[in-house]
Structure 1
Amino acid sequence: MGIFDTVTGFLESSTERAPGTAGDDGSEGSYWCDDCGVRVRDVDVDEKGLPRDNKGTPRCPDCDGRMRFERASGTGCAC
């Protein structure tokens, strides 16, 4: 196997998703705090015990600001 085949094989394997990675746990996106940049995945909001406003939107754990929801695009994470 030549160097080209080795590099090609490495690059192909680096784009494959390993079992148990983002996308297979029911997550549809993340909540973001625009004031301080905190990000919390939607599936982690209740686990972390974040308070919610009267509309059910989580409050930021750092600054208590209202967080906004952003859907994950494609098959990757909502980073």
Structure 2
Amino acid sequence: MGVIESMKAVLASPAPRSRPDDGSNGAYWCDDCDVRIRDVDLEGEPVCPDCGAAMRFERATGRDCAC
């Protein structure tokens, strides 16, 4: 497949579906355990379920995750 055909294929492919807006603003992270919990999935205080340490909040900026 040539460059022109590749570009045509990319432009013709459907756009990726965006995630539904569920009100999430980011996720809480445990830097020690690499555990991530989205803010909408958290109940109570942001404490790591693996080690019990406080988790830090990182805000997503238009992406699917707060990486």
2: distance between equivalents of 1:26 and 1:9? 36
- The answer on 1:8 being equivalent to 2:7 is yes
2:53 to 60, 65, 71: 65
Aligned partner of 2:41 in structure 1 is: 44
Q: TM-score, normalised by structure 2?
A: 0.72
Q: Which runs of 5+ in 2 are unaligned?
A: none
Q: 2:52 corresponds to which letter in structure 1? A: D
Letter of the 1:24 counterpart: D
Paired residues, number = 65
SS state at 2:27 partner? strand
Q: Give the equivalent residue in structure 1 for 2:27.
A: 30
The amino acid of 2:59's aligned partner reads R
Q: Which runs of 4+ in 1 moved over 4 A?
A: none
Root mean square deviation, CA, Å: 2.5
- Which TM-score applies when normalising by structure 1? 0.63
| Structure in which a larger fraction of residues adopt strand | 2
Greater fraction of residues in helix: 1
Secondary structure of 2:58's counterpart equals strand
For 2:50, what is the secondary structure of its paired residue?
coil
Q: Return 5+ residue gaps in structure 1 as ranges.
A: 53-57
